[in-house]
Structure 1
Amino acid sequence: MAETFTIGTLGKAAGVNLETVRYYERIGLLPPAPRSEGGYRRYDGVAVKRLRFIRRGRELGFGIDEIRTLLQLADHPQQPCDAADHLAQQHLAEVEAKIADLLAMRDVLARLVGCHSTSAEHCRLLETLEQRDCCVGRD
């Protein structure tokens, strides 16, 4: 008989909490598990593998709908991977845009730190947030 997992052991094996398992089951990313005579969910190794796939996709920043598409492709390995590649290209572009935004934020913050003002009235950060230019650019 194949090894089965309770929801708790499944979550531990896949690195997610049990509320996440329930949520993924509720939205259809994880098929409903058969129940034991006592009414407990019993998952198999396929569920562990699928849940790890979902978790890894989420770690890479893919949304639920993208994960759903990727799971459909994984469930039908004979299909071409054009759709997966397209998703990866789109996601990469989004990540690169976020990186550019973060670098721009870093540059602004780097200019604002080290304020030696003795009062909040002339604080570089507050001036920037209020769009005042009283002391911005001053050292």
Structure 2
Amino acid sequence: MTDEINYESNPLHGLGLQDLLTQIVDHYGFDILFAYLNVNCFKTNPSIESSVKFLKKNDWAREKVEVFYLYKFKNLPRPSSEQFALSPRYRIIPEGLTPREPAELSLEDAERVREKQALKAAEYGKTKNYRR
């Protein structure tokens, strides 16, 4: 008998990509998804079917959507650094933590988040150049 980790505590366990996407699109819409995730399948002629097809082919995009689902839609607390290193599908949600109401998001908030990320990226670029 092997020691298997019980991933059933993860809200993604047993949830198909189409169901996951349908839930978040029904709640937030494609505009919010594009604003927060910057994945083009949510902007150019978006549909559940075409988005699922794209996400199945692109692991990096699927992981962005899964992280969004866990930490914005299910509004779970951020994972520990150990869990953060794992793919979202393999993270263990500590016992006693349950999903909360979806986070309230807006296009204005998304723009502020993008601005912060751009500043961090610029600062990272500056410090990285100094280390050469």
Both structures adopt the same fold (TM-score exceeding 0.5): no
Q: Relative contact order, CA 8 A, sep 6+: which one is greater? A: 2
Of the two, which has the highest radius of gyration? 1
- Name the TM-score, length of structure 2 as normaliser: 0.28
- Name the TM-score, length of structure 1 as normaliser: 0.27
